[in-house]
Structures are given as C-alpha cells and as structure tokens.
Amino acid sequence: MEISYKPTFVKSFSKLEKDLQQEVLEKIELFRNKDNHIILKVHKLHGRFKENFSFYVNYKIRIVFMWGDKEEAILLAIGDHDLYK
C-alpha cells in the first residue's frame, strides 16, 4: 500500500518525542498490510470527519487518514482524542 503524508501530519509528527516517533513508524508499517487493520482498530469516523478513518498507535495516540486512489492512504493528522475537536 502506498502512504502519503499531508503537511499537517508531518508537522505534528516532528513534534513528538523520538520514542513515540519510532512507535508511530512501526504502526504505519503494520498499517500497510490490510490484515493488520483489526489489530490497529481501523475505523470510520463520524460527524464532521465522516469522510475519514482512524487507527491507534497506542492507547492515547491515533492517526487520522483518508483513502486515496485504490491502494493509497493519505495520513492527515496524528495526536490524542483532541484531534477531533
């Protein structure tokens, strides 16, 4: 699967601690294989984010993304639940 990154994602990612950045990169690698989507708890969002999806990095941090063409995911944002506000 192809992964693209929006500037908002890159900016938020760069502000994370190095250990958390490594964990995020590991989860993105897992995300590339659709068989792992259940483990990552990939789910569709609701409300104003109804066109987007999310998956968990850990208990607190999640990644918001949207599907692009066929086998492409575009990572939009990363952070805690406050992302949705």
User: Looking at residue 12, which CATH number applies to its domain?
Assistant: 3.30.2310.20
Question: Does 69 reside within a domain?
Answer: yes
Number of domains into which the chain is organized = 1
Count of CA atoms in the C-beta half-sphere (13 A) of 15: 9
pLDDT for res 48: 87
| Domain region containing 26 | 2-80
pTM strictly above 0.85: yes
Alpha carbon distance 72, 43 (integer Å):
16
Residue (of 68, 36, 32, 75) closest to 83 by Cα position? 75
The answer to the question of residue 68 being in a domain is yes
Assess if residue 85 is contained within a domain.
no
In a domain, 35, yes or no: yes
Mean pLDDT of 7-23: 96
Dump pLDDT digits (tens) for 20-41: 999 999 999 999 999 999 999 9
